[in-house]
């Protein structure tokens, strides 16, 4: 059953789910996380740690509503961890609230726990097994089925308390439907896989939302029952607390947390453990530290005290079924992953920029413990090269460094104290500096007038393409100064325009000279015209006088 789903839009590439997944059963593709069904052990860690609430547990509330409408009595099997989740609320108050929702009755799963622990004691007394691992935790069962199949003979082939209780309910009420309510994701899968015993599973979250929607308040009222020792089951070592632990040939121990369970299973595989009964829980603190405890592991001591105070000192009175009726089979669940060769791992490491063992930082930012684990995950299609933070950082720095080194412009980066943080070769050449080490960390006032930088900082307005003459270097530059508020840096880009400025000045000089020559020529031409006009005027006057005299002489004759 796909008990965990993903809100794709909420996944933010933080890789936190991978870091916390004890079996790395999460695949990343297209910047989205995907849970790999045949590898997941449904421990729910990814659900708890996801900062974006991208992981969702499949809600079976509507399925239960349909059961309630079927006409058959629906009985709740309530996980004993409820007393830690619902502070100050006993089984009587829970029963009343559940009846208001339409359930016929509600009983404690601890009744089934009593049946199971008795069968564990019978199994130990038979002395037919070297090592016995409790099978109450479905996540532990999946861990062994998927990752340690060789250790399946050590897994107690007995129903879980949930199954044993629901089976007992159906024996007593033949037409009844059963609904388990608890803090576990894996129980949804267990109920779906082993059909016929548990008809639906709700988490405490689902129950709380349902009660709130129906405006049903839980009554703060505790009830005592001396015959309720199995209420200890949801705590670390709780199974052992209910057992006699009196067999001299067996050592009894409790282990919680998937990592510790894996370590113990490896020791068993290597033949280091013998004559042991091992209580294994996937969650740290056992069920009261479950993924759907609404407090999310925040009150381990308080939660334990709540369970301890609620539990009695004697067993529930139960009718112990025949051993055959409590048997459960476990089969290995094969995983489809292939392991790469050493050459293939080395090739992937090189693509990640890991050319030597010293390059393998094993920083864990991608979610995997080592770079080699990450390389294997890439080969298996579970991870991408881009998930490596040092690789991305180096790639980004190399890319930016290439731009800074090869740009034809000078670049200077300053902090808010106007201290030089970075300077490229072009800028060094503009300012006749030998190396960046000569100015890095020093105030920019050593090499440039800080006025423009101060202006940008104070006014909050960037400078674009301002032409400036650097008198101390006898150079003209076109400067752009940008203030990056996020990183609190000033970036100055300088384009050397000295040749352009020189050419412009030369052109202006030639233009001025041309204008001056043109003015002189025009002046000279005007003088010549004036002289010609003066000569023409004198000549015309003389001609007029001569012609007048000639006319007069002719008239006299």
Q: How far is CA 371 from CA 34, 388, 392, in A?
A: 21, 9, 14
DSSP 8-state class, residue 148: -
Q: Measured between alpha carbons, how far is 440 from 396 in angstroms, rounded to an integer?
A: 22
According to the model, what pLDDT value does residue 294 have?
63
Q: Which bin fits 50, alpha (ψ -120 to 50), beta or left (φ > 0)?
A: beta
Taking the CA atoms of the chain, what radius of gyration do you get in angstroms? 44
Calculate mean pLDDT across residues 456-469. 93
Q: Measured between alpha carbons, how far is 419 from 92 in angstroms, rounded to an integer?
A: 71
- Give the tens place of pLDDT for each residue, 295-307: 555 688 999 999 9
**Residue 282 structure tokens:** 């996937």
- Give the tens place of pLDDT for each residue, 162-202: 999 999 999 999 999 999 999 999 999 999 999 999 999 99
According to the model, what pLDDT value does residue 323 have?
93
SS3 content of the chain, % helix, strand, coil (to 5): 45, 15, 35
Calculate mean pLDDT across residues 349-366. 86
| Lowest mean pLDDT segment, chosen from 210-214, 406-410, 464-468 | 406-410
Contact by Cβ (8 Å): 222, 101: no
The pTM of this model reads 0.74
Map 352-406 to HEC letters: CCCCCHHHCCCCCCCCCCCHHHHHHHHHCCCCCHHHCHHHHHHHHHHHHHHHHHH
Higher pLDDT, 264 or 17: 264
Residue 524 has pLDDT above 90, yes or no: no
Count of alpha carbons within 13 Å of 24, Cβ hemisphere only? 17
Q: In the structure, how many helices (H) and strands (E) does the chain have? A: 19, 16
Q: Measured between alpha carbons, how far is 506 from 490 in angstroms, rounded to an integer?
A: 35
- Give the tens place of pLDDT for each residue, 102-156: 999 999 999 999 999 999 999 999 988 999 999 999 999 999 999 999 999 999 9
Q: Measured between alpha carbons, how far is 304 from 310 in angstroms, rounded to an integer?
A: 10
According to the model, what pLDDT value does residue 70 have?
93
Contact by Cβ (8 Å): 260, 236: no
CATH architecture of 408-496: 2-Layer Sandwich (3.30)
According to the model, what pLDDT value does residue 398 have?
66
Of 187, 100, 91, nearest to 139 by C-alpha is 187
pLDDT band for position 310 (50/70/90)?
very high
What integer best gives the mean pLDDT of the chain?
A: 90
**Residue 493 structure tokens:** 């880009």
- Give the tens place of pLDDT for each residue, 369-407: 899 998 999 898 888 887 887 776 666 666 667 777 788
According to the model, what pLDDT value does residue 481 have?
95
- Give the tens place of pLDDT for each residue, 272-294: 999 999 999 999 999 999 998 86
Which residue's entry shows tokens 């012609």?
547
Higher pLDDT, 63 or 8: 63
Which residue's entry shows tokens 């980066």?
413
| Lowest mean pLDDT segment, chosen from 128-142, 214-228, 343-357 | 343-357
Of 118, 137, 159, 370, nearest to 260 by C-alpha is 137
Q: Is the CATH number of domain 59-219+230-326 3.40.50.10260?
A: no
Of 37, 38, 19, nearest to 149 by C-alpha is 38
Give the three-state DSSP class for 477: strand
DSSP 15-37: -HHHHH-TT--EEEETTEEEE-T
Residue 32 has pLDDT above 90, yes or no: no
| Lowest mean pLDDT segment, chosen from 257-261, 339-343, 351-355 | 351-355
Q: Measured between alpha carbons, how far is 537 from 315 in angstroms, rounded to an integer?
A: 147
According to the model, what pLDDT value does residue 397 have?
63
According to the model, what pLDDT value does residue 367 have?
86
Q: Measured between alpha carbons, how far is 171 from 165 in angstroms, rounded to an integer?
A: 10
pLDDT band for position 556 (50/70/90)?
low
Q: Among positive and negative, which fits the CA dihedral 345, 348, 352, 354? A: positive
Backbone torsions φ then ψ of 134, nearest 5 degrees: -60, 145
> Within a 10 A sphere around the Cβ of 401, how many other Cβ atoms?
12
Burial 349-378 (b: 16+ CB within 10 A, else e): beebbbeeeeebeeebbbbbeebbbbbbbb
pLDDT band for position 537 (50/70/90)?
confident
Higher pLDDT, 27 or 210: 210
Domain boundaries in the chain? Answer: 59-219+230-326, 408-496, 504-544
DSSP 8-state class, residue 152: G
Beta strands in 342-447 (DSSP E): 410-415, 420-423
Largest CA distance in the chain: 180
Q: Measured between alpha carbons, how far is 6 from 312 in angstroms, rounded to an integer?
A: 41
Same CATH topology for 59-219+230-326 and 408-496: the answer is no
Beta bridge partners of 331: none
Beta strands in 390-529 (DSSP E): 410-415, 420-423, 463-470, 475-484, 489-496
DSSP 434-452: S-GGGTTTSBGGGTS-THH
Which residue's entry shows tokens 């004697």?
314
Q: How far is CA 9 from CA 12, 32, 379, 385, in A?
A: 8, 8, 26, 22
DSSP 8-state class, residue 109: T
Which residue's entry shows tokens 């000295």?
498
Of 31, 42, 32, nearest to 4 by C-alpha is 42
Of 430, 354, 427, 351, nearest to 385 by C-alpha is 351
- Give the tens place of pLDDT for each residue, 90-100: 999 999 999 99
């Amino acid at each position: 059953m796909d008990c965990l789903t993903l809100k794709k839009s909420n996944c933010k590439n933080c890789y936190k789910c991978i870091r916390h997944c004890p079996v790395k059963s999460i695949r990343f593709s297209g910047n989205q996380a995907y849970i790999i069904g045949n590898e997941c052990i449904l421990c729910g860690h990814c659900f708890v740690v996801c900062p974006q609430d991208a992981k969702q547990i499949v809600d079976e509330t509507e399925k239960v509503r349909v059961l309630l409408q079927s006409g058959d009595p629906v009985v709740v099997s309530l996980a004993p961890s409820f007393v830690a989740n619902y502070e100050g609320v006993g089984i009587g108050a829970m029963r009343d609230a559940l009846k208001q929702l339409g359930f016929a009755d509600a009983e404690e799963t601890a009744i089934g726990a009593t049946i199971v622990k008795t069968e564990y004691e019978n199994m130990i007394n038979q002395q037919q097994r070297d090592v016995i691992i409790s099978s109450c935790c479905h996540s532990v069962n999946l861990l062994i089925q998927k990752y340690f199949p060789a250790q399946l003979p050590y897994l107690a082939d007995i129903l879980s308390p949930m199954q044993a209780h629901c089976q007992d309910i159906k024996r007593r009420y033949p037409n009844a439907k059963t609904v388990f309510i608890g803090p576990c994701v894996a129980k949804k899968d267990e109920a779906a896989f082993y059909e016929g015993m548990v008809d639906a599973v709700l988490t405490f979250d689902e129950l709380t939302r349902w009660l709130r929607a129906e405006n049903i308040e839980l009554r703060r009222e505790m009830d005592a029952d001396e015959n309720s020792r199995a209420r200890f089951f949801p705590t670390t070592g709780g199974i052992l607390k209910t057992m006699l632990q009196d067999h001299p040939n067996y050592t009894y121990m409790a282990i919680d947390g998937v990592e510790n369970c894996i370590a113990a299973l490896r020791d068993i595989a290597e033949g280091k453990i013998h004559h042991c009964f091992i209580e294994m829980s996937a969650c740290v603190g056992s069920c009261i530290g479950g993924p759907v405890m609404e407090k999310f592991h925040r009150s381990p001591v308080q939660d334990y005290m709540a369970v301890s105070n609620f539990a009695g000192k004697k067993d529930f009175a139960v009718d112990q079924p025949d051993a055959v009726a409590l048997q459960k089979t476990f089969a290995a669940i094969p995983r489809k992953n292939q392991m790469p060769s050493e050459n293939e791992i080395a090739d992937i490491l090189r693509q990640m920029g890991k050319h030597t063992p010293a390059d393998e930082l094993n920083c864990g930012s991608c979610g995997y413990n080592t770079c080699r684990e990450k390389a294997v995950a890439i080969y298996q299609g579970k991870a991408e090269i881009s998930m490596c933070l040092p690789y991305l950082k180096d790639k980004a720095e190399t890319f930016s460094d290439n731009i800074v080194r090869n740009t034809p412009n000078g670049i200077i980066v300053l902090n808010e104290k106007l201290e030089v943080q970075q300077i490229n070769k072009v800028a060094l050449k503009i300012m006749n500096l030998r190396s960046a080490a000569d100015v890095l960390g020093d105030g920019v006032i050593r090499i440039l007038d800080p006025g423009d930088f101060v202006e940008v900082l104070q006014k909050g307005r960037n400078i674009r393409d301002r032409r400036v003459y650097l008198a101390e270097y006898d150079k003209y530059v076109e400067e752009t100064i940008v203030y990056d508020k996020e990183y609190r840096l000033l970036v100055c880009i300088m384009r050397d325009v000295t040749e352009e400025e020189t050419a412009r000045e030369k052109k202006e000089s030639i233009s001025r000279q041309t204008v001056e020559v043109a003015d002189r020529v025009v002046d000279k031409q005007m003088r010549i015209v004036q002289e010609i006009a003066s000569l023409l005027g004198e000549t015309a006057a003389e001609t007029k006088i001569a012609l007048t005299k000639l006319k007069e002489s002719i008239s006299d004759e």
